[in-house]
């Protein structure tokens, strides 16, 4: 569990920095420790104190658009579970936006769909899902978490493919039948 908590805190910090760079004042829900167990052998448990038991961050600013945002930060694998957690919370779209930020991380990779050119897949960004859009995926709604605002540019044009070279194969020896 410690790995998930650490990863969640790191993602919340990335989201907080991206919001603060955009001019928001951000409140982060803080974890608390509680002593549980029998008096002769107590142990500590760390509990999350989400806002409305669903949101990790609340961001506010005076300028439109979206002056008040309730944000749940997660990874792409957990979006459907977070939608189930956030959807029942009644938040008026006129007053605030309810959002899920799904982190897409990893190392920069080439898109394998293209054989003749190098196309880099974007990485290190949050895909934003809005409740007012019924949690629909919109690839244009991305918040990049680092100073790099776009995927890396292709270095150069790929060299033309050469004809494959035939390599002679060694023949296997015929096995002698056992007598």
pLDDT the model gives residue 1: 47
Measured between alpha carbons, how far is 96 from 62 in angstroms, rounded to an integer?
12
The residue among 5, 11, 10, 18 whose CA lies nearest residue 141 is 18
Measured between alpha carbons, how far is 21 from 24 in angstroms, rounded to an integer?
7
**Considering the entire predicted model, what is its pTM?**
0.71
* Residues constituting the chain: 179
> In the predicted model, what is the mean pLDDT of residues 2-23?
85
Among the listed ranges 16-20, 39-43, 138-142, 158-162, which one has the minimum average pLDDT value?
A: 158-162
């Amino acid at each position: 569990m410690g790995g998930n908590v650490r990863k969640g805190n790191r993602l919340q910090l990335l989201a907080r920095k991206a919001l603060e760079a955009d001019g928001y004042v951000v409140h982060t829900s803080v974890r608390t420790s509680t002593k549980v167990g029998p008096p002769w052998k107590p142990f500590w448990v760390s509990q999350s104190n989400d806002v409305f038991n669903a949101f990790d961050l609340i961001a506010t600013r005076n300028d439109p658009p979206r002056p008040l945002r309730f944000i749940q930060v997660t990874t792409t694998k957990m979006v459907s579970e977070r939608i189930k957690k956030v959807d029942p919370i009644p938040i008026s779209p006129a007053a605030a936006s309810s959002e899920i930020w799904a982190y897409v991380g990893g190392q920069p990779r080439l898109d394998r769909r293209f054989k003749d050119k190098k196309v880099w897949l974007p990485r290190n960004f949050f895909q934003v899902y809005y409740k007012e859009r019924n949690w629909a995926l919109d690839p244009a709604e991305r918040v990049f978490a680092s100073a790099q605002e776009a995927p890396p540019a292709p270095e150069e044009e790929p060299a033309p493919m050469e004809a494959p070279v035939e390599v002679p194969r060694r023949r296997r020896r015929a096995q002698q039948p056992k007598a």
